[in-house]
Amino acid sequence: MNEPGWLTHVRELQAIAQIGLAYTKDKFDGERYQRIRAIASAMMAARSGTDLEPILELFQQDTGYATPKVDVRGAVFREGRILLVRETSDGKWTLPGGWADVNQSAAECVEREIAEEAGFQVRAGKLAAVWDYRRHGHVSRHPFSIYKMFFRCEIIDGEANAGDETSEVEFFAENALPDLSVSRVTAPQIARMFEHWRRPEMPTDFD
Protein backbone atom coordinates (compact mmCIF):
# COMPACT_ATOMS: atom_id res chain seq x y z
CA MET A 1 0.00 0.00 0.00
CA ASN A 2 1.31 3.39 -0.99
CA GLU A 3 0.62 5.31 2.19
CA PRO A 4 2.46 5.95 5.47
CA GLY A 5 1.72 3.72 8.43
CA TRP A 6 0.62 6.61 10.61
CA LEU A 7 -2.22 7.40 8.20
CA THR A 8 -3.53 3.84 8.44
CA HIS A 9 -3.52 4.15 12.24
CA VAL A 10 -5.26 7.55 12.17
CA ARG A 11 -7.99 6.20 9.89
CA GLU A 12 -8.57 3.18 12.14
CA LEU A 13 -8.65 5.27 15.32
CA GLN A 14 -11.18 7.61 13.75
CA ALA A 15 -13.35 4.66 12.69
CA ILE A 16 -13.23 3.14 16.20
CA ALA A 17 -14.24 6.49 17.69
CA GLN A 18 -17.04 7.04 15.20
CA ILE A 19 -18.52 3.56 15.64
CA GLY A 20 -18.17 3.77 19.42
CA LEU A 21 -19.97 7.12 19.55
CA ALA A 22 -22.74 5.74 17.34
CA TYR A 23 -23.52 2.79 19.60
CA THR A 24 -22.44 3.52 23.16
CA LYS A 25 -25.06 4.35 25.77
CA ASP A 26 -22.53 5.02 28.50
CA LYS A 27 -21.53 8.63 29.16
CA PHE A 28 -17.99 7.76 30.19
CA ASP A 29 -17.42 5.50 27.18
CA GLY A 30 -18.66 8.36 25.02
CA GLU A 31 -16.06 10.64 26.55
CA ARG A 32 -13.36 8.03 25.85
CA TYR A 33 -14.38 7.76 22.20
CA GLN A 34 -14.34 11.55 21.90
CA ARG A 35 -10.80 11.46 23.26
CA ILE A 36 -9.78 8.82 20.72
CA ARG A 37 -11.16 11.06 17.95
CA ALA A 38 -9.22 14.02 19.34
CA ILE A 39 -6.00 11.97 19.39
CA ALA A 40 -6.57 10.83 15.79
CA SER A 41 -7.15 14.45 14.73
CA ALA A 42 -4.00 15.61 16.52
CA MET A 43 -1.94 12.87 14.83
CA MET A 44 -3.33 13.83 11.42
CA ALA A 45 -2.62 17.52 11.99
CA ALA A 46 0.92 16.91 13.23
CA ARG A 47 1.93 14.60 10.38
CA SER A 48 0.19 16.49 7.56
CA GLY A 49 1.07 20.03 8.64
CA THR A 50 -2.61 21.00 8.78
CA ASP A 51 -4.42 22.96 11.48
CA LEU A 52 -6.10 20.75 14.08
CA GLU A 53 -9.54 22.36 14.12
CA PRO A 54 -10.54 21.69 10.47
CA ILE A 55 -9.51 18.05 10.80
CA LEU A 56 -11.50 17.58 14.00
CA GLU A 57 -14.52 19.22 12.37
CA LEU A 58 -14.14 16.91 9.36
CA PHE A 59 -14.07 13.82 11.55
CA GLN A 60 -17.06 15.04 13.56
CA GLN A 61 -19.18 15.35 10.42
CA ASP A 62 -19.33 11.58 9.93
CA THR A 63 -21.72 9.71 12.21
CA GLY A 64 -23.01 6.16 12.43
CA TYR A 65 -21.06 3.07 11.47
CA ALA A 66 -17.83 3.99 9.66
CA THR A 67 -17.74 2.72 6.07
CA PRO A 68 -15.56 3.57 3.04
CA LYS A 69 -16.49 6.55 0.89
CA VAL A 70 -17.26 5.88 -2.79
CA ASP A 71 -15.58 7.65 -5.72
CA VAL A 72 -16.86 7.01 -9.27
CA ARG A 73 -14.85 7.44 -12.50
CA GLY A 74 -15.96 7.09 -16.11
CA ALA A 75 -13.90 5.67 -18.99
CA VAL A 76 -15.24 7.06 -22.27
CA PHE A 77 -13.61 6.22 -25.61
CA ARG A 78 -13.73 7.82 -29.04
CA GLU A 79 -11.69 6.57 -32.00
CA GLY A 80 -9.34 4.66 -29.74
CA ARG A 81 -8.71 7.56 -27.38
CA ILE A 82 -9.86 8.03 -23.79
CA LEU A 83 -11.68 11.07 -22.41
CA LEU A 84 -9.82 13.07 -19.76
CA VAL A 85 -10.57 16.39 -18.07
CA ARG A 86 -8.17 18.92 -16.59
CA GLU A 87 -8.91 19.73 -12.96
CA THR A 88 -8.89 23.40 -12.02
CA SER A 89 -7.73 22.52 -8.49
CA ASP A 90 -4.31 21.20 -9.54
CA GLY A 91 -4.11 21.78 -13.30
CA LYS A 92 -3.69 18.06 -14.01
CA TRP A 93 -5.75 15.50 -15.90
CA THR A 94 -8.06 12.72 -14.75
CA LEU A 95 -10.96 10.54 -15.77
CA PRO A 96 -14.15 12.52 -15.12
CA GLY A 97 -15.81 11.62 -11.85
CA GLY A 98 -16.01 12.37 -8.15
CA TRP A 99 -17.80 11.42 -4.94
CA ALA A 100 -20.99 9.40 -5.26
CA ASP A 101 -24.10 11.28 -4.12
CA VAL A 102 -26.98 9.99 -2.02
CA ASN A 103 -30.27 9.10 -3.75
CA GLN A 104 -28.45 8.21 -6.97
CA SER A 105 -27.13 4.85 -8.11
CA ALA A 106 -23.41 4.58 -8.80
CA ALA A 107 -24.15 4.50 -12.55
CA GLU A 108 -26.31 7.63 -12.31
CA CYS A 109 -23.54 9.37 -10.38
CA VAL A 110 -20.85 8.68 -12.98
CA GLU A 111 -23.18 9.70 -15.82
CA ARG A 112 -23.92 12.99 -14.04
CA GLU A 113 -20.25 13.66 -13.29
CA ILE A 114 -19.28 13.18 -16.94
CA ALA A 115 -22.05 15.55 -18.06
CA GLU A 116 -20.98 18.18 -15.51
CA GLU A 117 -17.23 17.92 -16.06
CA ALA A 118 -16.97 17.08 -19.77
CA GLY A 119 -20.29 18.05 -21.42
CA PHE A 120 -21.18 14.59 -22.77
CA GLN A 121 -24.37 12.67 -22.11
CA VAL A 122 -23.31 9.05 -21.57
CA ARG A 123 -24.67 5.66 -20.57
CA ALA A 124 -22.75 3.53 -18.09
CA GLY A 125 -22.46 0.13 -19.73
CA LYS A 126 -20.05 -1.87 -17.59
CA LEU A 127 -18.58 -1.77 -14.10
CA ALA A 128 -14.93 -2.34 -15.06
CA ALA A 129 -13.25 -2.14 -11.64
CA VAL A 130 -13.79 -1.62 -7.91
CA TRP A 131 -10.46 -0.76 -6.31
CA ASP A 132 -9.31 0.16 -2.81
CA TYR A 133 -7.75 3.62 -3.00
CA ARG A 134 -4.82 2.62 -0.75
CA ARG A 135 -3.66 -0.22 -3.00
CA HIS A 136 -3.17 1.52 -6.34
CA GLY A 137 -0.43 4.11 -6.09
CA HIS A 138 -2.49 7.22 -5.49
CA VAL A 139 -0.53 10.18 -4.13
CA SER A 140 -2.68 11.55 -1.34
CA ARG A 141 -3.06 11.51 2.43
CA HIS A 142 -6.82 11.25 2.57
CA PRO A 143 -8.20 10.67 6.07
CA PHE A 144 -10.99 8.33 4.93
CA SER A 145 -11.06 4.87 3.40
CA ILE A 146 -12.19 5.02 -0.26
CA TYR A 147 -13.51 2.55 -2.81
CA LYS A 148 -13.09 3.69 -6.41
CA MET A 149 -15.59 2.43 -8.99
CA PHE A 150 -14.61 2.64 -12.67
CA PHE A 151 -17.32 2.41 -15.36
CA ARG A 152 -17.04 1.94 -19.12
CA CYS A 153 -19.40 4.52 -20.59
CA GLU A 154 -20.74 5.19 -24.10
CA ILE A 155 -21.46 8.66 -25.50
CA ILE A 156 -25.12 9.26 -26.30
CA ASP A 157 -25.07 12.99 -27.07
CA GLY A 158 -23.36 16.27 -26.32
CA GLU A 159 -20.01 17.81 -27.08
CA ALA A 160 -16.84 18.57 -25.16
CA ASN A 161 -17.50 21.34 -22.67
CA ALA A 162 -15.59 21.99 -19.44
CA GLY A 163 -17.52 22.51 -16.21
CA ASP A 164 -17.14 24.44 -12.98
CA GLU A 165 -14.34 22.16 -11.70
CA THR A 166 -12.62 21.49 -15.03
CA SER A 167 -10.81 23.73 -17.50
CA GLU A 168 -10.24 21.47 -20.54
CA VAL A 169 -11.74 18.35 -22.09
CA GLU A 170 -9.76 16.16 -24.51
CA PHE A 171 -9.35 12.60 -25.79
CA PHE A 172 -5.87 11.05 -25.44
CA ALA A 173 -4.12 8.04 -26.97
CA GLU A 174 -2.90 5.36 -24.60
CA ASN A 175 0.76 6.14 -25.31
CA ALA A 176 0.33 9.92 -25.07
CA LEU A 177 -1.26 10.58 -21.68
CA PRO A 178 -0.87 14.05 -20.14
CA ASP A 179 0.30 14.88 -16.60
CA LEU A 180 -2.16 12.97 -14.43
CA SER A 181 -3.77 14.03 -11.16
CA VAL A 182 -2.60 10.90 -9.37
CA SER A 183 -4.67 11.58 -6.28
CA ARG A 184 -7.62 10.82 -8.60
CA VAL A 185 -6.36 8.36 -11.23
CA THR A 186 -3.12 6.58 -12.12
CA ALA A 187 -1.56 5.56 -15.43
CA PRO A 188 -1.96 1.80 -14.68
CA GLN A 189 -5.67 2.35 -14.00
CA ILE A 190 -6.10 4.10 -17.35
CA ALA A 191 -4.13 1.32 -19.06
CA ARG A 192 -6.53 -1.18 -17.51
CA MET A 193 -9.50 0.78 -18.87
CA PHE A 194 -7.98 0.48 -22.36
CA GLU A 195 -7.82 -3.27 -21.78
CA HIS A 196 -11.51 -3.32 -20.87
CA TRP A 197 -12.27 -1.31 -24.01
CA ARG A 198 -10.31 -3.71 -26.23
CA ARG A 199 -11.70 -6.79 -24.49
CA PRO A 200 -15.27 -6.02 -23.37
CA GLU A 201 -15.76 -9.62 -22.24
CA MET A 202 -13.27 -9.14 -19.39
CA PRO A 203 -14.78 -9.56 -15.91
CA THR A 204 -14.86 -6.73 -13.38
CA ASP A 205 -11.57 -6.15 -11.56
CA PHE A 206 -11.65 -5.88 -7.77
CA ASP A 207 -9.32 -6.06 -4.78
Whole-number Å distance between alpha carbons of 148 and 137: 13
Whole-number Å distance between alpha carbons of 41 and 53: 8
pLDDT for position 105 = 97
Whole-number Å distance between alpha carbons of 30 and 71: 31
Q: Are 78 and 155 in contact (CB under 8 A)?
A: yes
β-pair type (166-172, 97-99): unpaired
Break the chain into its structural domains and give their ranges. 5-61, 69-206
Q: Are 96 and 115 in contact (CB under 8 A)?
A: no
Whole-number Å distance between alpha carbons of 110 and 122: 9
Superfamily of domain 69-206: Nucleoside Triphosphate Pyrophosphohydrolase (3.90.79.10)
Give me the tens of pLDDT residue by residue for the chain, a chain 207 residues long: 567 889 989 999 999 999 999 999 999 999 999 999 999 999 999 988 889 999 999 899 989 999 999 999 999 999 999 999 999 999 999 999 999 999 999 999 999 999 999 999 999 999 999 999 988 888 776 788 999 999 999 999 999 999 999 999 999 999 999 999 999 999 999 999 999 999 999 999 999
pLDDT for position 13 = 94
pLDDT for position 4 = 85
pLDDT for position 144 = 85
Q: Are 59 and 52 in contact (CB under 8 A)?
A: no
